[in-house]
Structure 1
Amino acid sequence: MINIISDKSNCCGCSACYSACPKNCISMVEDDEGFRYPIVDKNKCVDCGLCEKVCPVLNVSNPNKPASIFAFSNKSEDIRLKSSSGGAFSLLAELVLSQGGVVFGAAYDNNWEVAHTYIERIEDLDMLRRSKYVQSRIGDTYKQAKNFLKEGRKVLFTGTPCQISGLRHYLRKDYDNLITMDFVCHSAPSPKVWRKYLSEQYARKGVAGKNSVFQSLKEMPSIKGISFRDKTHGWKKFSFSLSLAEASAEGEKNTVFRSPHYENIFMNFFLSDTISRPSCYACHAKNGRSGADITVGDYWWINEIHPEFDDDKGCSIVYIFTDKGKLAFEKIKDKASVIETDSETDIKKAYLLEGAFAEHAIPNKTRTRFFAEFDNKSLEELRPLSIRVKTFQERVLDEIKLIVNKLGIFNIAKKIYKSIK
């Protein structure tokens, strides 16, 4: 049976074991850091071993190179500005929904925590758009997706690489009517830290950084929207924004609080690899191992590879892995500006500079101290621990990227990079 005791890096929290258990004796329970792990009721367990058979960490797949790589920008500027990068997900979701299908993805729940859910109408698509930098609860969505697949409906399931890997291991077979899409994942931050952030920063009248006091619950403004990737000041200089609604004499008043991502305290902890799940520092699903048909991400280095595509409104990098993914891509590409990254030099450059596709996060040296002090201090008091102390390997890699960016010596850089791994 599944038994996570000391080395929590061996569990990515995908919930495949929970979903597969025929006796429903596995629960996903949150630990002190806010991450969910499987707990087995041994009185109900019959030792069938299915939980171990579907575990993507115990059954790691081989790396897989994409068949093709594209730069992708949705021709609808409105949709692109509502998206984190180039709007590729929206077009694929619209395709599946137009065929009577179902789309699964991460959305905010009533408490502004992140959980997987599904939609059946294009009108509901916006709730699944945009990056949400919190680990999503899978819940029963694997089971729901399987039921839809058995009914013969088209299903698009999106998630982190480990969640897609978990789904595929849970299903234990391929379905012609299933399309899976993951994304280039930095890591999965703690839901507990996210809850504390919302509580400290916005469960008050006003916003952090100003002189404000906690009010009674009846007087608290309600949250109307959250965006980790607000493009008001551009795609590359994205902001964190939160919309609050307050009652006033004139009626409801909406106020948007916006700050550059590098000034936002939650983003500081996330991007410094201080609050990620332990398995993210030894990810078993990166480098094409998830089994996804399509992987999407931000084509951050588009200005170096396809500069004509760079308008700072968002551009996706799209990796196509399977014939199924290729077929779906062919059906949506007419609604986008698309260019293939096909030269050997540019592909090498894309791999090296978009390192999160293959390389896992490296834990900040302050991580242990952060969680040890978390319950007794505010995030503002802990802010100094968000400063990233880079390892020797990271400093060398930064230098390699700088050289590659300036001189384009890809083969030399690749050899150096391999030598320090």
Structure 2
Amino acid sequence: MSYDEMKISKLGEACCGCGACAAKCPKSCISMQEDKFGFLHPVIDAGACLGCHACDSVCPALGGGKCDEALGIRWAKGKSSELLEASSSGGIFGLLAESVIAGGGVVCGAAWADGCRHVEHVLVEDAVSLDRVMRSKYVQSRVGREVYAGVRDAIRSGRRVLFAGTACQVAGLKRYLGKTGGGSALLLTVDVICHGVPAPRLWSEWIDYKNVLRDSNVCDVNMRRKTTGWLSFSAMYEYIAEKDPFSSCESTIFNQDWYMKAFLANASLRPSCFMCPAKRSCGSDITLGDFWGFQGIHPEVDYSKGVSAVICNTDKGIAAFQGIANSIDCGDATIEQVLAGNPSLVKSVAPYAKCDEFMADFASRMGIEGLMAKYDFKSSLKQRVRGKLGAIKRKVLKVAREGIR
């Protein structure tokens, strides 16, 4: 079998960039290389390729899995205010991770790297380091060969592993591990309700732009800071100057941060995100996301610091969720309630109307300032009116909730 017959070599824009193919290759002849947007794609060393098709067998884009079952659907939030502040939504991932670490296990999730210019999956083995993989990071993360091998080796040594990522990353890991490892009682997989993954190079250029603007270097980013509330979260950038030992912070409401606006407008997403092959079919044990719209369903519950939508897809997922029951407030929910605020749970988003033009301008090295001048991503009149009505509704619900108390 020749290299030319490898299906992954012909994926093009359908590739999710999960890296499972490179990790699985027995000859290590596949490398994940960046395209002009920073998205990773497999590049095969034809001379070393055996034609074994191990790469094709693990690729999420080459064959969908069976539909995930929603065995249990809940709203949930941690009881600890400190945990809620440190989380993007209801703190459920943090509690699951703490449980695994406490039992001597390993947690694998997305962490900032290279001065917050990139995101990569890392293995965490202690509670002190757990904060690295907390909170949402709206950049596609790199899952390296060493991470896949690390998860596999941890399971083989009898340790529990919690792997969290997008649906395509979970699907890639489970296929890499195979039926034995992927179905192991020691592996707990969590996928996030995914809007799509933005271009890594756009993010790195955005950080470079911010560094120059402030004459300092970004040392930490919280894309979901809750000082302005869960529903109107802020993007927070922490800086430190070379000659100044003290750090400084900059915080911007999410709908005023240009990078976040480009992301939410679907202008900077990976092409495969518009035809995601892994939604509700990645085989995860638990699906987590923000329970958007929760305030209209349960105005009597304090939602100000975030509420999670929790979908348990397997018995293993149900058991893991039950294991943190004493640390959370929760209640029953329906898939319709979750979908009302999270349509991307089951449906790929539509691209920005000028997506091709935006990405072409970006690839042409127009630069952040040029892109900002041409694309402001202003909300439409309809969106602004809906936003104001939503704000009024939230105020009314807040008054009602305080009255109930």
- TM-score for the superposition, normalised by structure 1: 0.84
Unaligned runs of 5+ residues in structure 1 are 207-219, 406-421
Kindly state the Cα deviation for residue 254 of structure 1 after the two structures are TM-superposed: 1.9
Residues 374-413 of structure 1: pairs in structure 2 closer than 5 A: 374=362, 375-383=364-372, 384-385=374-375, 387=377
Match of 2:174 in 1: 168
Q: Which residue of 2 aligns with 1:124?
A: 129
1:62 Cα deviation after fit: 2.7
Q: Secondary structure at the match of 2:202?
A: helix
Deviates more, 1:348-357 or 1:121-130: 348-357
Match among 56, 61, 68 for residue 65 of structure 2: 61
- Per-residue deviation, residues 322-365 of structure 1 (Å, max 9, x unmatched): 01111111110110111111xxxx44232233211111111112
1:370 and 2:365 equivalent? no
| Matched residue, 1:332 | 324
**CA distance in 2 between partners of 1:200 and 1:62 (Å):** 43
| 1:300-319 matches, cutoff 5 A | 300-319=292-311
Amino acid at match of 2:49: C
Q: Corresponding residue for 1:281?
A: 274
**1:271 positional shift:** 0.6
SS at match of 2:305: coil
| Counterpart mapping for 1:226-375 below 5 A | 226-246=221-241, 252-286=245-279, 288-341=280-333, 346-374=334-362, 375=364
Q: Which runs of 5+ in 2 are unaligned?
A: 1-5, 394-405
> 1:189 maps to which residue?
198
Shift of 1:280: 0.3
How far apart in 2 are the matches of 1:266 and 1:348? 30
Misfit runs of 4+, over 4 Å: none
Q: 1:136 is aligned with what amino acid?
A: S
Cα distance in 1 between the residues matched to 2:212 and 2:65 = 43
Match of 2:93 in 1: 89
1:252 partner SS: coil
1:389 Cα offset (Å):
9.5
Residues 1:76 and 2:76 aligned together: no
Shift of 1:388: 7.5
Does the CA contact (< 8 Å) of 1:265 and 1:379 recur in 2? no
C-alpha separation in 2, matches of 1:9 and 1:110 = 27
- 1:126-141 matches, within 5 Å, as 126-140=131-145, 141=147
C-alpha contact (below 8 Å) 1:9/1:281 kept by paired residues = no
Write out per-residue CA displacement over residues 198-217 of structure 1, whole angstroms, 9 at most, x where no aligned residue: 1112234x2xxxxxxxxxxx
AA aligned to 2:40 is R
Whether the 8 Å contact between 2:291 and 2:341 is mirrored in structure 1 is: no
Q: Distance in 1 between matches of 2:48 and 2:191?
A: 34
CA contact (8 A) 1:188 1:277 kept: yes
**In 1, distance between residues paired with 2:275 and 2:112?**
27
In the aligned structure 2, how far is the partner of 1:353 from the partner of 1:111? 33
Contact between 1:103 and 1:155, CA under 8 Å: does it hold in 2? yes
Match of 2:151 in 1: 145
Q: Deviations over 1:222-246 (max 9, x none)?
A: 3231111011110111011101123
1:35-56 per-residue CA deviation (whole Å, 9 max, x = no partner) reads 0000110100010011111111
Whole-angstrom CA distance in 2 between matches of 1:3 and 1:146: 23
3-state SS of paired residue (1:227): strand
For 1:26, which of 7, 26, 30 is the aligned residue?
30
Which among 27, 38, 43 is matched to residue 39 of structure 1? 43
Cα gap change, 1:10 to 1:389, in 2 (>3 Å) = farther
SS at match of 1:186: coil
CA pair 378-332 structure 1, distance change in 2 beyond 3 A: same
Distance 2:322 2:338 in 1: 22
* Sequence identity percentage: 35
Equivalences, count: 373
2 CA distance for matches of 1:298 and 1:133?
A: 14
The offset of 1:255, in angstroms, is: 1.2
Please list the CA deviations of residues 241-290 of structure 1 after superposition, one character each: whole Å capped at 9, or x if unmatched.
Answer: 10112366xx622211011111111111111101111100000111x211
The alpha-carbon deviation at position 378 of structure 1 amounts to 2.4
Question: Relative to 1, partners in 2 of residues 1:31 and 1:247: Cα closer, same or farther, differing over 3 Å?
Answer: closer
CA–CA separation in structure 2 for the residues paired with 1:224 and 1:33:
23
Q: Who is 1:411 aligned against? A: none
In 2, the alpha carbon distance for the partners of 1:13 and 1:388 equals: 30
Q: Report the CA distance between 1:124 and its aligned residue.
A: 0.8
**Over residues 350-384 of structure 1, what are the superposed CA-to-partner deviations in whole Å (9 max), with x where a residue is unaligned?**
22332111111111121211222223322232234
